Amino acid sequence: MPSTRLNSPSRDSDEYAEASQIFDLVHGSTEDGPGLRTVVFLKGCPLRCVWCHNPESQDPRQQEFTTSGDGVTPSFETIGRVLTPDEVADEILRDASFYRVSGGGVTFSGGEPMMHMRLLEDVCAAIKDAGVHVAVDTCGQFDYAEYERRLAGTIDLFLYDLKLMDDEQHRMATGASNAVIHANLIRLAASDVAIHVRVPLIPGYTATRTNLSQIAEFATEHHLSKVSLLPYNPSGIEKWRKLGIAPPVLMPTEPMHMDEYSNWVRFFRERMSDLAARIETDW
């Protein structure tokens, strides 16, 4: 089905120049929601997680990666490009037949895609008639009133990060309070939208017995039955260097060992079982 045409700004307009920067667009993902998915990665994030594995997503502006070039003269890779809502919708609808067969759709990720609700609203207006399933991968730090005004009833699935339950620890590790994040999740849980909570296991930060116990209690209290633990990924370290920024100190340089990951999964399952909570996982 062809996409609905939108009144997109021209490439020469001031409105277009200030539009959302997209730093990647991936077709055929199997890791960002159900089925085969197109993933649209948007620049800009309200958090500054010390373990961020996409540091190029934090700044909403276009940036450059410095690459090795010929070993003498560095070369540069531009990170970020502006696409109109029509162009994004067309990229998504290219894979409509795969969505139908696999139960897939589009996932907006980042960065924080909910910083770009106007773009999401416009793109969704062009793809929903085609029956495209829409997921948003969010840190939870967004304006709930704007979500209700622009996107409520349009988003089918929230992939929702929970990192640290203690507010002081959350401020130290991400640069922001978790109060809005928790409040938004509670409000979403009381609605009829699907939610998949995802917990990054960061050694020394989120991967502690206290934190995971508190997440289990929160999930139980608010009937969040789908929770996944994600093993630590150090891929952001090299990206920090390409941005010309020293990576955060004390971050492990190796991925989490599978034995450690399995132990945390076992602990979390046991804690949920102790709370008599039913939980679905993708592990």
Residue pLDDT, tens place only, 212-232 = 999 999 999 999 989 999 999
pLDDT digits (tens, 9 = 90+) for 52-88: 989 999 999 998 888 765 556 778 888 999 999 999 9
Instruction: Calculate the average pLDDT of the chain.
Output: 89
Partnered with residue 260 across adjacent β-strands are: none
Q: Residue 185, Cβ neighbours under 10 Å: how many? A: 23
Q: Reply yes or no: is the peptide bond before residue 153 cis, omega within 30 of 0.
A: no
Alpha carbons 32 and 132: distance in angstroms, whole number: 15
C-alpha dist (Å) from residue 73 to 76, 241, 245: 10, 16, 19
Helix (H, G, I), strand (E, B) or coil at 263: helix
Mean pLDDT value across residues 37-66: 93
pLDDT of residue 17: 40
Residue 70: per-residue pLDDT = 54
Mean pLDDT of 193-222: 96
| Amino acid 149: pLDDT | 97
Q: What is the mean pLDDT of residues 105-109?
A: 98
Confidence of residue 45 (pLDDT cuts 50, 70, 90): very high
Chain-centroid distance of CA 100 in Å reads 23
Pairing of strands 63-67, 75-79: antiparallel
Whether the predicted pLDDT of 245 surpasses 90: no
Strand order in the sheet with 37-42: 81-82, 21-29, 37-42, 105-110, 133-138, 157-161, 194-201, 227-231
The pLDDT assigned to 276 comes to: 65
- Give the start-to-end residue ranges of the domains of the chain: 14-274
What's phi and psi for 16, nearest 5 deg?
Answer: -65, -40
Q: Is the pLDDT of residue 251 over 70?
A: yes
Q: Is the dihedral of CA 204, 209, 212, 213 positive or negative?
A: negative
pLDDT for residue 68: 67
Asked if pLDDT for residue 7 goes beyond 70, the answer is no
pLDDT at residue number 10: 44
pLDDT over threshold 50, residue 195: yes
Q: What is the pLDDT of residue 3?
A: 33
pLDDT, mean of residues 202-208:
95
Mean pLDDT of 241-256: 85
Q: What is the secondary structure of 87-112 as a DSSP string?
A: HHHHHHHTTHHHHHHHT-EEEEEES-
Q: Is 14-274 assigned to CATH 3.40.50.1820?
A: no
pLDDT confidence band for 247 (50 / 70 / 90): confident
Q: Which residue has the higher pLDDT, 116 or 253?
A: 116
Q: In this predicted model, what pLDDT tens digit does every residue of 10-35 receive, in sequence order?
A: 444 444 445 789 999 999 999 999 99
How high is the pLDDT of residue 75?
83
What is the pTM (predicted TM-score) of this model?
Answer: 0.89
